[in-house]
Structure 1
Amino acid sequence: MKQRLAAVLAADMAGYSRLMEADEAGTLARLRTHRIELIDPAIAKNEGRIIKTTGDGMLVEFQSVTDAVKCAVEIQQRMKRRNSDVPQDRRIEFRIGVNLGDIIFDDGDIFGDGVNIAARVEQLADVGGICITAAVATQIADRLEVPIEHLGEKMLKNISRPVHLYRVGLEEAVLQPASEGKDTKRAVSKPTIVVLPFDNMSGDPEQEFFADGLTEDIITALSRRHELFVISRNSSFVYKNQPVNVREVAEKLGAQYLVEGSVRKNADRVRVTVQLIDAINDAHIWADKYDRKLDDIFAIQDEVTAAIAATLPGRVEAAQRDQLARTKPANMAAYECALAAKVLHHRGTVADNEQAQTLIERAVALDPGYAHAHAWRACILGQAWVHGWCEDKDTVWSNIVAELERALALDDNDADVHRILAAVNVNNNELTTARYHQERALSLNPNYDLVVVQQGELLTWLGRPDEGVEWIRKAMRLNPHHPERFWSHLGKAYFAARQYGDAIEAFMHLSAMDDVQHAFAAACYGWLGDDIAAAAHIKKVKALNPDFDIEVFLATLHYAKESDAQHIREGLVKAGAGDCLAETNDLAAQ
């Protein structure tokens, strides 16, 4: 169980039993339409997360009180307009309550005093109205143009203390969007994705559960990626066994990307096809198929889910980068700035790092509550710190620590936050702390290729390179489009495992090698006794880094065991690194 401060919106449909008794099918159809066309998109737009739904109500969690109230106001104002020409006895109307308090999260559900108060407050709201607690009223007083009326202290059922309540005035409420031309705070606009129920093409009704289970697992796995907003299962399964118009579905659900697929069983094999569609441009971005032997259908379900969940976010990000190339920097939102900064960071040059710092700082300024941006600012500054691309390393390190603390405080459940915390602690040789954050990242998102490959790196540093190789290979399988640097991690793991031939083969996959990678390749050849190949790589090391020194190089590595550090030292000596250095020093002396 986890506990954190959150805003909870509780909504309940007024007169549900009466409406159901009068017209059950019609009431459900109209309620479903309101969900698809208004309620779920409003929640998604305001960064909410539906925790629980009942026949006539729901609980929604928001990290921002402002977003929760904005969502409530939008729903109630638009529902009033929708009901304007509906007879009074057939109107679907809601009561909404909003509270800010400590919430206990356990197995996908929420509990605690904060939830109970939100539910009780909702019951005291007017039909079509919004009731909020004092904690909420205080937070929105200077942030939203909504009038609030003090209702005094109220005793709530099963709550021992009186609670100050307020009514939100909807008639005068004005929710102004942020100006496009100003550098005011803007909401993080994440890519929104909907996974439609996979079609059962096998003609076998018993395979229906596999198709539905696979769809639900993919939705759950993708929801772990905090850089994506995933439409809930309840909304997407409305379209099960229905002909789908991509643009219409995307428009109704407020989604930019749509995932659809099919399952076909043939004898003892099952084939799963999946495709990712840009619904706005009606363009296919990515498609793949997975053929598996039908030994264990649940194992297949897990395997295919992992593969899709690992690959799909990268394809979405690639599509976003293409769009970003056509976007004017002055109009970039926080998410777009963070995305552009990540692209520059992965290029790994001084100039790109400087530009990345500028963009990620803008992302943080646009939305100070964007945990992902704070974590990536730490990562980008960490790149400069590791490579010595900064004048004052102590100040930069302090900034890195501060950014990570801020990111952790904002969102302790973002796998990227813990992944970057682990990486930074490795670079500071705090391997015990790094292991804690790495395991946390892995538990939060076990199908994230960057987390999985980092598990392999960490195990290599900890003296368990054989396991490290397995994890790095797993990351490569999860994401066939993995970054090229995965080969470098694999080469280093194979070297530590004393598998020099495999290490050399891994390094050979790199389109270009830096001095560190040439040093590892040289050490491999040193241990294999290939003096000519070893000397060639040492020559490349000296060309790329004329001041190369074995001891300085070893200080940049993070082996927990002295025997592993000694292993690469001896390999470099066998490769002639010490001789080359001595020759260089002799020439310098002359």
Structure 2
Amino acid sequence: MKRRLTTVLAADVVGYSALMDQDRQGTLAALRSFREDTLKSLLEAHKGRLIKSMGDGWIAEFPSTSDAADCAIAVQSAPKADTIRLRIGIHTGEVISDGDDIFGDGINIAARLEALAEPDQILISDTSHNSLDRGDAAQFDGGEQTELKNITRRIGVWCWPKGTSANLSTSADTRPGIAVLPFDNMSGDPEQEFFADGMTEDIITELSRFRWLMVVARNSSFIFKGKSTDIREVGRSLGVRYVLEGSVRRAGQRVRITGQLIDAENGSHLWADRFDGVLDDIFDLQDKVTQEVVTAIEPSLRRAETTRSRAKPTENLEAYELYLQALSHFHLLTDEDNREAIRLTTLALERDADYAAAAGLLAWLHIQRLVQGLEPVGKGPKAAVAAAERVLMSDRADGIAMAYAAHSISMLARDLPRARAAFKQALAENPNAASVHMLASINLCMLNRPDEALDHATQSVELSPKDPMRHAAHIARCSALFQLARYEEAAAAAREALAVRSGFVMSHLMLIAALGQLPDTAAAKSAVNDLNALRPDITASTEQAKLPVFSMTNASENWRAGWRNAGLPD
């Protein structure tokens, strides 16, 4: 990915959904004619390149601001069907190239300006206006400073035609927003209306626990109850990026609930699923579906957010982009990727010292090196503990960042009671986050509470069965089962971890110890050979074998006995 300066034009058809409802075929024909006969030729004439076409909207880039402004005026002035009226926004700024696509600050501000524009109007940022020569600049007036959603600095906005004004509404909340629309009752049974509405309200309540999300209140989302609306119009109306919608259908005592998560900015589907249940206890079913929906869509939302840089849970957009880049390296678990993730996260914290999510990730990245037997980077564990302390003192930390910090306090500072208190807070903040349950489980193992640890580890696996880091949840299960002397199950859990990450040394060590406590000596020796083939330097005396999960529990002697029995060298 490369950074560069460019001018971005974002255009959108006014009232698209209403036009489609009134005359679908006529609207599609008019749009097709406009795109092929007018837009493409004007872009070519002004050296523009079409980046994205979204049916009723387009994003293009230009080598110069003058080209973009001239093209926008030509597009607005060109003859077109009476039904086709456009809003256009233009901004000159830095973008990140990813193949033929671009994203970042440049495209973000252009899109925000387009959303503020009135029909037939062009809005350009002060940055673009300052780049125009005197003649072109004179075609615009205004310059009023305003705040744009998810943009840290105020933007001067200039308008074409002269004498018009823009709807410069502001929004200070920088979090990505989601609206949960009332689930449709497809049963024809009015009593099921209460069930559908109650489930919608519960989902809103549970999603509100995630601090990094802005969840639209019930009263706002319920204005769309019973209406057929375009999701993108919902997003614009409520100022959200994501919309969750669904339906409830009853047949006898059986109920089927469907749900889908949609990106309101482009209409793409991020997640969809269905849930079947029996109305023996309507409240139990409502609770069950609510939990399953929330735990399914929260990871989907996080994945969507890591692929874009339009939202920022920090006031510094550059810090957020660095954090997203670090996340892309975090899951790969190689020495090189870990170093790069530490570098990027450190840079993010230099730009926003109070960025709790980045501090929490930095702490876990240093632990990642310790667990994998990699050489420390910089101050190593000291840096991890310092980052963790920064999170625990922050009022901006969500449950996941808090869990990362608590894990560092547990593993490196070995302050288990304090870490446990932080985990309780993290679980209260994010009760449906798989990673929080997984890390809490490891802490409970070290506190010699394996039964509770097993519960949390099992929940972690169930909450996110396809998580790229689920090997850690299986490791937590294995640790708890080993402490309970359930060695066959512990070995099975270790194999589950290896099925996800075959090169993770801790999983091998746990499998060897569990098999060493069982009669099948051949299987234990085979596991030792597998580890020797991967890392011939690993013995029962290496630093990885001395990690707290092995050394600070009442099962520490059993771990060592298992390794000895299996033939792992001392």
Provide the TM-score with structure 1 as the length reference. Answer: 0.62
| Deviation for aligned residue 1:220 | 2.0
| Deviation for aligned residue 1:446 | 1.0
CA 1:366–1:391 in structure 2 vs 1: closer, same or farther (change >3 Å)? closer
- In the other structure, the counterpart of 1:484 is 470
Q: Does 1:466 align with 2:456?
A: no
Task: Name the CA distance, whole Å, in 1 between partners of 2:351 and 2:363.
Answer: 17
Matches within 5 A, 1:197-208: 197-208=182-193
CA 1:339–1:304 in structure 2 vs 1: closer, same or farther (change >3 Å)? farther
- Of 474, 479, 482, which aligns to 1:495? 482
- Of 406, 415, 422, which aligns to 2:399? 415
| Deviation for aligned residue 1:196 | 0.9
**Identity in percent:** 36
Task: Name the CA distance, whole Å, in 1 between partners of 2:395 and 2:285.
Answer: 32
- Of 207, 212, 236, which aligns to 1:227? 212
Task: Name the CA distance, whole Å, in 2 between partners of 1:551 and 1:367.
Answer: 40
Matches within 5 A, 1:44-63: none
| Deviation for aligned residue 1:507 | 2.8
Task: Name the CA distance, whole Å, in 2 between partners of 1:575 and 1:388.
Answer: 21
- In the other structure, the counterpart of 1:212 is 197
CA 1:377–1:188 in structure 2 vs 1: closer, same or farther (change >3 Å)? farther
- In the other structure, the counterpart of 1:56 is none
- In the other structure, the counterpart of 2:564 is 573
- In the other structure, the counterpart of 2:531 is 541
Q: Does 1:292 align with 2:277?
A: yes
Q: Which amino acid aligns with 2:442?
A: E
- In the other structure, the counterpart of 2:519 is 529
Deviations, residues 230-258 of structure 1 (Å, cap 9, x unaligned): 22323211111211211111112222221
Task: Name the CA distance, whole Å, in 2 between partners of 1:467 and 1:568.
Answer: 20
Deviations, residues 504-561 of structure 1 (Å, cap 9, x unaligned): 3223332414332122212222221211111111122223333323244442133586
Task: Name the CA distance, whole Å, in 2 between partners of 1:303 and 1:415.
Answer: 22
CA 1:322–1:407 in structure 2 vs 1: closer, same or farther (change >3 Å)? closer
- In the other structure, the counterpart of 2:288 is 303
Q: Which amino acid aligns with 2:564?
A: V
Provide the TM-score with structure 2 as the length reference. Answer: 0.64
CA 1:519–1:294 in structure 2 vs 1: closer, same or farther (change >3 Å)? same
> Structure 1 stretches of 5 or more lacking a match?
1-80, 83-170, 181-186, 326-330, 582-590
Task: Name the CA distance, whole Å, in 2 between partners of 1:467 and 1:409.
Answer: 27
Q: Which amino acid aligns with 1:403?
A: A
| Deviation for aligned residue 1:360 | 1.8
Matches within 5 A, 1:39-188: none
Look up the SS of the partner of 1:347 in the other structure. coil
Q: Which amino acid aligns with 1:423?
A: H
Task: Name the CA distance, whole Å, in 1 between partners of 2:488 and 2:428.
Answer: 33
- In the other structure, the counterpart of 1:7 is none
Q: Which amino acid aligns with 1:229?
A: M
CA 1:453–1:267 in structure 2 vs 1: closer, same or farther (change >3 Å)? farther
Task: Name the CA distance, whole Å, in 2 between partners of 1:426 and 1:406.
Answer: 15
Report if the CA contact (8 A) 1:189-1:335 is conserved.
no
- In the other structure, the counterpart of 1:347 is 332
Task: Name the CA distance, whole Å, in 2 between partners of 1:188 and 1:234.
Answer: 19
Q: Which amino acid aligns with 1:522?
A: I
Task: Name the CA distance, whole Å, in 2 between partners of 1:408 and 1:468.
Answer: 22
- In the other structure, the counterpart of 2:252 is 267
Task: Name the CA distance, whole Å, in 1 between partners of 2:447 and 2:146.
Answer: 57
CA 1:574–1:398 in structure 2 vs 1: closer, same or farther (change >3 Å)? closer
| Deviation for aligned residue 1:389 | 4.1
| Deviation for aligned residue 1:225 | 1.9
Report if the CA contact (8 A) 2:512-2:524 is conserved.
yes
> Structure 2 stretches of 5 or more lacking a match?
1-116, 119-142, 155-171, 311-315
Deviations, residues 117-146 of structure 1 (Å, cap 9, x unaligned): xxxxxxxxxxxxxxxxxxxxxxxxxxxxxx
Task: Name the CA distance, whole Å, in 2 between partners of 1:418 and 1:322.
Answer: 23
Matches within 5 A, 1:315-464: 315-323=300-308, 333-387=318-372, 389-391=374-376, 395-411=379-395, 414-428=398-412, 429-464=414-449
Report if the CA contact (8 A) 1:462-1:560 is conserved.
no
Q: Does 1:279 align with 2:264?
A: yes
Task: Name the CA distance, whole Å, in 2 between partners of 1:562 and 1:359.
Answer: 35
Q: How many residues align?
A: 400
RMSD in angstroms over aligned alpha carbons?
Answer: 3.2
- In the other structure, the counterpart of 1:252 is 237
CA 1:536–1:385 in structure 2 vs 1: closer, same or farther (change >3 Å)? closer
Task: Name the CA distance, whole Å, in 2 between partners of 1:454 and 1:562.
Answer: 16
Look up the SS of the partner of 1:522 in the other structure. helix
CA 1:211–1:544 in structure 2 vs 1: closer, same or farther (change >3 Å)? same
- In the other structure, the counterpart of 1:557 is 548
CA 1:212–1:525 in structure 2 vs 1: closer, same or farther (change >3 Å)? same
| Deviation for aligned residue 1:387 | 4.3
CA 1:563–1:472 in structure 2 vs 1: closer, same or farther (change >3 Å)? closer
Report if the CA contact (8 A) 2:342-2:365 is conserved.
yes
Report if the CA contact (8 A) 1:250-1:256 is conserved.
yes
CA 1:391–1:468 in structure 2 vs 1: closer, same or farther (change >3 Å)? closer
Task: Name the CA distance, whole Å, in 2 between partners of 1:280 and 1:255.
Answer: 9
CA 1:343–1:201 in structure 2 vs 1: closer, same or farther (change >3 Å)? same
Look up the SS of the partner of 2:533 in the other structure. helix
- In the other structure, the counterpart of 1:71 is none
| Deviation for aligned residue 1:351 | 0.8
Report if the CA contact (8 A) 2:477-2:490 is conserved.
yes
